[in-house]
Amino acid sequence: MPRQSTFSSGDGTIATGPPASTAPDGPDLPRVGWAFVTLYTLAFMSTCLVLIAPLLVTLALKVNVLVGARGAPGALALVAAVGALVAMVGNPFFGRLSDRTSSRFGMRRPWMIIGLIGGTLGVLIVAVAPSVLIVLVGWCIAQLFFNALLAVQVAVLPDQVPTPQRGLVSGVLGVCVPVASVTGTFVVQLFAPNQLLMFLAPCAIGGFFILLFAATLKDRRLTPADRPPWSLKEFLTTFYLDPRRHRDFAWAFASRFLFVLAYAFLVTYQAYYLLSRLGSAEGDVARQVFLGTLVQSTLVVAASLVGGRISDRSGRRKVFVLAAAIVYGAALFLIALAADFNGFLVGMALGGLGYGVYVAVDLALVADVLPDRRTAAKNLGVFNIAGALPFSIAPAAAAVILALTGGNYSALYALAGVCALLSAGAILPVRRVR
């Protein structure tokens, strides 16, 4: 007779049910209501806010104050690259810890609170740092704990949301990054030039909604008897899944990696593209980047919501991911060939459509092909490496490409378009979802 375990029931009580290996999965979960979706979205958007606001504005300003305009680009690249590496380790590591957490407060809730507190402490260290070395230490702490928060929040999707609603919910989550980007820049400029408040205001605002969601979440619970084993081998597998045993997951990982690599090429070098390829005046670049981001973000929001909903109704995932990656590739080719700023905006708008549908449906697809729901957070943490690693690879790869082509940004963005098309091809071998 199978061993019994406990899990959170729909009314918030702790009920006796099947062992963790047969805990309610996608189709067996109760449908979630709009109150849950709203709080989940606000919390996830807040996590994006506390991560993105420093990357977009305040981290660069802090480094510039410490080392001056000449040394700032190199110092910022070092801080951002090391922080990205810490994020890649921290995300799956804390995901694995949450999968085996048997706290009476639940599996995910404790790490949301720990992640928020630790990440905010890291941001505070950055804000008051007297040197780039201390900025690096503070940013690594922030990345480590905020990625713990991110890992467990992503795991809430397969934990709580049934398969027929995953496209809708992941589509709503897909709008969080562009909305957080706009919100972050708006909040930061409200408190300029006070750098301490510029760093901490997003943490305060985001922290409120994160704690609200943590307090109301009917979290999964795990008994100590059902806790997965822990050993050196288990620790090492935290950062790896055998692609031969989990082929669908491996192909989904490859698709996301190639797609984000294409995106990283675009956003990392678009300012230099505007200056070199389109001949924009230096004083116009900030406004042009804002306009391009606004156009793309608007289309991302619309496409995410519509694409995720249609995917749920049709019961299909692959065709949406495939089409979205192709559209994004076409957008990058348009940008590569653009002769003026209007052409750039058209490419950004088309890219917003492709990006919005991709991020909405791809997350739902991944949730559907997870190897084991008992280790959902760890597996999603491994998957999140596909979203972090390209931002460490893209700057180095782009530098080589530009050196070989004599600074040809059209060639760089054409290569980015090829990456997007390869991302579309990588999703074709997935078999467990349509």
144 part of a folded domain: yes
pLDDT at 17: 31
Asked, for residue 21, whether it belongs to a domain, the answer is no
Predicted local distance difference test score (pLDDT) of residue 374: 59
Q: Show the 3-state SS of 120-187.
A: HHHHHHHHHCCCHHHHHHHHHHHHHHHHHHHHHHHHHHHHHCCHHHHHHHHHHHHCHHHHHHHHHHHH
> Alpha-carbon distance 222 to 216, whole Å?
18
Q: Which residue has the tokens 């680009």?
A: 73
416's enclosing H/E stretch is helix 409-427
Cis peptide before 193 (omega within 30 of 0): yes
Q: How many domains does the chain have?
A: 2
Alpha-carbon distance 78 to 21, whole Å? Answer: 42
206 with 349, same domain: the answer is no
CB neighbours of residue 372 within 10 Å: 14
What does each of the 434 residues of the chain score in pLDDT, given as a tens digit? Answer: 333 333 233 333 233 233 333 344 555 677 888 888 899 999 999 998 998 888 766 787 788 788 876 676 677 778 877 888 888 788 778 877 887 787 888 888 999 999 999 999 999 999 999 999 999 999 999 999 998 998 888 888 888 888 788 777 877 787 787 788 778 777 877 887 788 888 999 999 999 999 999 999 888 887 777 776 666 566 556 555 555 666 777 788 888 889 989 988 887 667 667 777 888 776 676 677 778 878 888 888 888 778 777 877 777 777 888 889 999 999 999 999 988 889 999 999 999 999 888 877 777 777 676 666 655 555 666 677 777 778 777 767 777 787 788 878 889 899 999 999 999 888 888 776 66
Same domain, 253 and 212: no
Q: Considering the entire predicted model, what is its pTM?
A: 0.67
| Together in a domain, 282 and 190 | no
Chain mean position to CA 237: 22
Q: Is residue 434 part of a domain?
A: yes
Say whether both 424 and 283 belong to one domain.
Answer: yes
Q: Where are the beta strands (DSSP E) in 5-67?
A: 5-8, 14-17
pLDDT given at position 174? 72
| Under 8 Å between Cβ of 140 and 122 | yes
| CA 343 to centroid of chain Cα atoms | 28
Q: Does 203 lie in the same domain as 295?
A: no
Domain shared by 390 and 428, yes or no: yes
- Residues 409 and 281 grouped into a single domain: yes
Residue 367 lies in a domain: yes
Angle at 290 between CA 59 and CA 401, to 5 degrees: 75
Structural domain includes residue 171: yes
* Separation CA 141–CA 66 (nearest Å): 19
CA–CA–CA angle 326, 328, 331 (5° rounding): 115
Please provide the distance, in angstroms rounded to a whole number, between the alpha carbons at the two ends of the chain.
Answer: 35
Q: The domain containing residue 395 runs over which residues?
A: 240-434
Looking at the structure, tell me whether residues 257 and 186 fall in a common domain. Answer: no
Q: Which two tokens stand for residue 422?
A: 């390869």
2 in any annotated domain: no
* Residue 243: per-residue pLDDT: 59
Asked if residue 9 lies in contact with residue 23, where contact means CB atoms within 8 angstroms, the answer is no
Q: Are 8 and 19 in contact (CB under 8 A)?
A: no
What CATH number should be reported for the domain holding residue 139? Answer: 1.20.1250.20
Do 370 and 158 meet the contact criterion of CB atoms below 8 Å apart? Answer: yes
Q: How far from 302 is each of 121, 184, 233, 291, 306, CA to CA, in Å?
A: 35, 20, 44, 17, 6
Residue 420 resides in a domain: yes
Rounded-to-integer distance, Cα 9 and Cα 7, Å = 6
Pair (169, 276) in one structural domain? no
256 and 405, same domain (yes or no): yes
The one-letter amino acid at 109: R
Domain shared by 126 and 201, yes or no: yes
Same domain, 395 and 287: yes
Angle at alpha carbon of residue 424, lines to 325 and 255, rounded to 5°: 100
Per the DSSP assignment, residues forming a β-bridge with 17 are 5
Quick check: is 227 in a domain? no
Q: Is 166 exposed, middle or buried (0-12, 13-18, 19+ CB in 10 A)?
A: buried
